[in-house]
């Protein structure tokens, strides 16, 4: 159990049977009144957000969360199969949980899986992954501007916006947190 | 021996982070100016500067304020009882700027140690205090910036226009669609105050939130023509609570009753019960003159005058 005074930004709590992360926190104490701990929280399963205010007497449950280091193995129908790096136990993660991360999973690469009550609820990939551009309009030689972009597709069909100087066959780095182009690694 | 650095430092180490030194220097200089202008206004108006003890035997019991322990004694949460003892002893216009302490209060607008301006004026009531406070802040701005306006968090606060004056009950009805009595009844008074009302106060000019419900009177006297509310106001600037003032309760018997009620509430919520403020009660026997008093958070005022969003920007911790 947490006390209200333990609450802070980044803390993970169990509220209404869901695990939440506190994304914003403020200590308030309106004119001679009770202390209030005002939290903005994000649901770790659904991604929805809510505001919740606690008083000093409130107790808040701890969620049963565990982060596991894994290696991505392969796709099996609707499931993505990972292997626990310590125990080699296979972990099956559904398509829904993976979401857009599916485009950025690379076989035998590392990722972290967040487990809630023993079930996977979130996958965190390495911040940057490298992909080869499979399809884009020809680049403009010498145009090094990065603020003008054009669409491009990577091997699995995922579309990103890239600067004009990027060509088919170039290898680029993608930020998996945003799904956006970061920089060019090498030219074709 | 530590070598002398080649360049002046650009950051200043704080308990949880490094802050930009140039910004801190600029704000601390403005803060120092603000303090001296405020002191000057008090001196010019015949107030005497006093210093009362930081370490005390018995804090005033308040249900939601916790005094840090200091050995067998306590660090003061406010200088209120000691300053009132001076009023009982014949001092008529006194002010003090000094540190106060409240256990467990830490946030964007709170520190466990903070700086309070507190003053009392005999023969005055909370209306006179309201006018004096407005004048003092206008003077401070004029002397600091040569203009009666301050820029705070994207707002221009005009200290020359008449302040907004709104009762607590009207504010609850206007901003939350509920009477203050109903909010108390449903035990959501503080939640509504914090989330719905405070952000709407002090926008563009000062707001004085007047006439608190009797159950939130603290040490204010009840209104003569309406005993359901107390002669108490709080000042807001840009959504920030700045000051709290009363027409002071002077009746020793009622004072003891209020303390007893607060002590009972503290005991009920498992908080420690403070020793009785013996010297304060003895002083009351000699009679407390009619007066009004105000407590103003100087760190928060410095936030407003230096356009800071976090109290750490105007303090060292």
Signed CA dihedral, B301, B306, B308, B311: sign only: negative
The ranges of chain A with pLDDT < 70 are: 140-146
In a domain, B5, yes or no: no
Q: Are residues A35 and B62, on separate chains, in Cβ contact within 8 Å?
A: no
In a domain, B4, yes or no: no
What separation in angstroms does the CA of B202 have from each of B136, B139, B193? 16, 18, 14
**Which residue on chain B is closest to A4 by alpha carbon?**
B104
Q: Considering only residues 84 to 103 of chain B, which have any Cβ-Cβ distance to chain A shorter than 8 Å? A: none
Which DSSP string do the residues of B92-141 spell out, in sequence order? -EEEEEEEEE-TT--BTTB-SEEEEEEEEEET--HHHHHHHHHHHHHHHH
* Terminal C-alpha separation, chain B: 27
In a domain, B2, yes or no: no
Write out pLDDT tens, residues B120-169.
999 999 999 999 999 999 999 999 999 999 999 999 999 999 999 999 99
Q: Could you give all domains of chain A from N- to C-terminal order, each with its CATH number? A: 2-60 (2.30.30.30), 65-124 (2.40.50.140), 128-186 (2.40.50.140)
Say what the alpha-carbon torsion angle B301, B304, B306, B309 is, to the nearest 10 degrees.
110
> How close A185 gets to chain B, by Cα (Å)?
34
Say what the alpha-carbon torsion angle B101, B105, B107, B113 is, to the nearest 10 degrees.
10
> A-side interface with B, Cβ within 8 Å?
5, 26-36, 38, 53, 56-57
What separation in angstroms does the CA of A158 have from each of A105, A111, A182? 12, 20, 15
In a domain, B6, yes or no: no
Which tokens in the block code for residue A149?
């972009």
pLDDT for B15 equals 80
Write out pLDDT tens, residues B271-293.
888 999 999 999 998 899 999 99
Spell out a b/e string for B69-83, using b for 16 or more CB atoms within 10 Å of the CB, else e.
Answer: eeeeebbbbbbbbbb
Tell me which residue range forms the domain holding B123: 11-314
Domain tally, chain B: 1
pLDDT for A21 equals 96
Write out pLDDT tens, residues B81-122.
999 999 999 999 999 999 999 999 999 999 999 999 999 999
Angle at B100 between CA B137 and CA B267, to 5 degrees: 120
In a domain, B3, yes or no: no
In a domain, B1, yes or no: no
Write out pLDDT tens, residues A15-49.
999 999 999 999 999 988 999 999 999 999 999 99
Write out pLDDT tens, residues B20-53.
889 999 999 999 999 999 999 999 999 999 999 9
In a domain, B289, yes or no: yes
Q: Are residues B190 and A34, on separate chains, in Cβ contact within 8 Å?
A: yes
How many whole angstroms separate alpha carbon A17 and alpha carbon A15? 5
What's the average model confidence in pLDDT over B175-189? 97
Signed CA dihedral, B34, B35, B37, B42: sign only: positive
Strands of A86-177, DSSP E: 90-94, 110-116, 119-124, 128-136, 149-154, 159-163, 171-175
Average pLDDT value over all residues in chain B: 95
What's the distance, CA B215 to chain centroid?
19
Place of tokens 């000094």: B98
CB contacts of A8 in chain B (<8 Å) are none
CATH number (domain holding residue B124): 3.30.930.10
| Main-chain phi, psi angles of B212, to 5 degrees | -75, 150
Q: What value of ipTM does the predicted structure carry?
A: 0.88
């Amino acid at each position: 159990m947490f006390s209200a005074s333990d609450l802070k930004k980044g803390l993970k709590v169990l509220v209404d049977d869901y695990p939440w992360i506190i994304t914003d926190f403020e200590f308030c104490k309106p004119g001679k009144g009770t202390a209030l701990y005002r939290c903005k929280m994000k649901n770790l399963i659904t991604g929805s957000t809510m505001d919740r205010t606690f008083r000093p007497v409130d107790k808040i449950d701890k969620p049963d969360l565990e982060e596991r280091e894994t290696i991505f193995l392969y796709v099996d129908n609707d499931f993505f199969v990972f292997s626990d790096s310590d125990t080699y136990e296979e972990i099956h993660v559904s398509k829904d949980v993976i979401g857009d991360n599916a485009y950025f999973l690379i076989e035998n690469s590392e990722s972290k899986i967040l487990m809630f009550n023993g079930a996977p609820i979130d996958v965190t990939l390495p911040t940057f992954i490298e992909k080869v551009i499979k399809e884009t309009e020809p680049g403009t030689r010498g145009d090094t501007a990065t603020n003008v972009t054009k669409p491009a597709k990577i091997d699995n069909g995922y579309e990103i916006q890239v600067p004009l100087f990027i060509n088919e066959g170039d290898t680029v780095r993608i930020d998996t947190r945003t799904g956006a182009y970061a920089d060019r690694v090498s030219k074709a | 021996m530590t070598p002398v650095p080649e360049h002046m430092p650009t950051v200043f180490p704080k308990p949880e982070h490094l802050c930009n030194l140039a910004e801190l220097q600029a704000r601390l200089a403005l803060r120092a100016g603000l303090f001296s202008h405020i002191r000057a206004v008090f001196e010019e108006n015949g107030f005497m500067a006093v210093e009362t003890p930081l370490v005390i035997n018995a804090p005033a019991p308040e249900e939601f304020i916790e005094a840090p322990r200091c050995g067998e004694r306590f660090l003061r949460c406010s200088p209120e009882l000691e300053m009132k003892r001076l009023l009982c002893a014949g001092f008529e216009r006194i002010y003090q700027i000094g540190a106060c302490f409240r256990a467990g209060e830490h946030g964007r607008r709170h520190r466990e140690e903070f700086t309070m301006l507190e003053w009392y004026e005999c023969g005055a009531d909370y209306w006179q205090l309201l006018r004096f406070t407005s004048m003092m802040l206008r003077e401070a701005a004029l002397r600091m910036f040569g203009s009666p306006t301050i820029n705070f968090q994207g707002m221009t606060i005009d200290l020359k226009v008449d302040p907004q004056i709104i009762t607590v009950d009207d504010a609850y009805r206007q901003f939350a669609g509920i009477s203050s009595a109903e909010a108390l009844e449903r035990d959501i008074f503080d939640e509504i105050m914090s989330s719905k009302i405070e952000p709407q106060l002090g926008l563009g000019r000062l707001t004085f939130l007047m006439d608190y419900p009797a159950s939130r009177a603290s040490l204010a006297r009840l209104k003569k023509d309406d005993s359901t509310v107390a002669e108490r106001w709080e000042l807001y600037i840009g959504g920030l609570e700045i000051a709290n003032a009363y027409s002071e309760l002077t009746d020793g018997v009622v004072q003891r009753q209020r303390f007893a009620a607060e002590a009972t509430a503290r005991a009920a919520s498992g908080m420690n019960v403070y020793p009785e403020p013996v010297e304060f009660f003895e002083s009351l026997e000699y009679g407390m003159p009619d007066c009004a008093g105000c407590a103003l958070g100087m760190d928060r005022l410095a936030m407003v005058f230096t356009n800071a969003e976090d109290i750490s920007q105007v303090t060292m911790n």
